[in-house]
Amino acid sequence: MLKSLFNKWVFLVLMICVLVSLRRTPEKSIESETELTQPIFCVFLQRDLAQEDEASSGSILYLEYDYYRETCPEAEKIVNSRMAGIYEEDQDVSAGLLRLFFHDCFIRCVDFFCSSLTEGCDASLFLDDSNGNKSYLIERQAIQHTTLKGFDKIGLIKEELEMACPGVVSCADTLALATRDGILLAGGPYYPVFTGRRDSIRSYYQEAMAGVPGPDDNLNRILQLFSVRGFNERETVRAHNIGKISCQFIRSRLYKFKGTGQPDSTMTDDFLNEMRLNCQESNNISVDVAPAPMRSRKVTELTAGMSYYQGLTSSISAGAGFDTHYFHSLLKGRGLLYSDQQLMTDVKTADIVRAYASDDGRTFRVDFARAMVKLSILGVLYGSQGQVRTNCTLPVNNS
């Protein structure tokens, strides 16, 4: 029965994608991207979702395209318009929200008090459910999350949504929509966002501490963390591209890699020297264990850092944000993080890197769109589960 329902849903996804691709927007907006006239990625999306097992496909059946069409018909336009204004003032917001979205969706509740649905894209990262108890640690306080940015931007969008439709649009959906629009504004591909998520009633500090890949993780660790959430090797590699890395994520590799007191021995001397010029040694690098999310990062401190463009040799053009520059960097041995360069240590992942570097970026963009849809439906709350917060930071009874 579930399989039959899922097959019908997959057919609906394809039809929606075709209809969206035929759409013509009368004025310039986020949704006037090239991908709207190229439905091919939606066909690949359909194929990807059709291959999912029944367990992982269950939650998506409870989300809908344009879920708020009756309860808050202007919701997506509000997010779209507000994001356009935010991006005009701060173009780093796209990478920041992408990182924020990944961290929220990737946290998995694993203790026996949690049902299988209390994990994933549920805005638990925003929630302060400590009720003033300083000994109660919330998800946002995990070391993996201390450098995240974009909470305030989602807050601004949520305030406008509350003015239009009080208590209707969840924080989880607000983040999902804003992230997609930010990616579009940064030159990334369009992908459909299915809505109807509910917000978590608790945060998950311990799960946050254990669940996100770190900058110095080896490939086995990275693949394992993605695998338990249903992502294969290609989906792990395809989720890399934009952003700027703060020096705090780089320094341990340059000076005291994994407690050796020496730099990472796999780096060439010229690349090591270049990175040291950008990121000088600090007396306090203990925070360097904080992970870098899904290989799409943004600078998270007002200090020196390196963009992925700086990881290129002068003979390679950096191009736009969503092109193949990241993969060309890895082919040259110039991955900024140890965990980045680890993708070249296994035949399977290295072949995927080469494939993404071999064309104009179209292959990566199609795969990235599919990966984002899959990430966005990871362990969502729906129906009567969870709540819809009016203030993303506070539970409903404290809002």
**Residue partners of 51: CB distance under 8 A and separation at least 6:** none
The burial of 266, by beta-carbon neighbours within 10 Å (0-12 exposed, 13-18 middle, 19 or more buried), is given as: middle
Catalytic residue among 103, 145, 325, 328: 103
Q: Is 104 annotated as a binding residue?
A: yes
Cα first-last separation, the chain: 40
Respond yes or no: is residue 328 known to be catalytic. Answer: no
**Which tokens go with 247?**
């020096």
What does 288-310 look like in DSSP terms, one character per residue?
GGS--GGG-----SSS-EEEGGG
Q: Is 351 annotated as a binding residue?
A: no
b (16+ CB within 10 A) / e for 100-136: bbbbbbbbbbeeeeeeebbbbbbbbbbbbbeeeeeee
Q: Is 139 annotated as a binding residue?
A: yes
What does 97-123 look like in DSSP terms, one character per residue?
HHHHHHHHHH----STTS-TTSSSSSS
> How far apart are alpha carbons 94 and 217 in whole angstroms?
25
How many Å is the Cα radius of gyration of the chain? 20
Q: Is 120 annotated as a binding residue?
A: yes
Q: Is 48 annotated as a binding residue?
A: no
Residues flagged as binding site for heme b:
240
Binding residues: 104, 120, 122, 124, 139, 213, 240, 323
> Residues with catalytic annotation?
103
Binding residues for Ca(2+): 104, 120, 122, 124, 139, 323
Binding annotation for substrate: 213
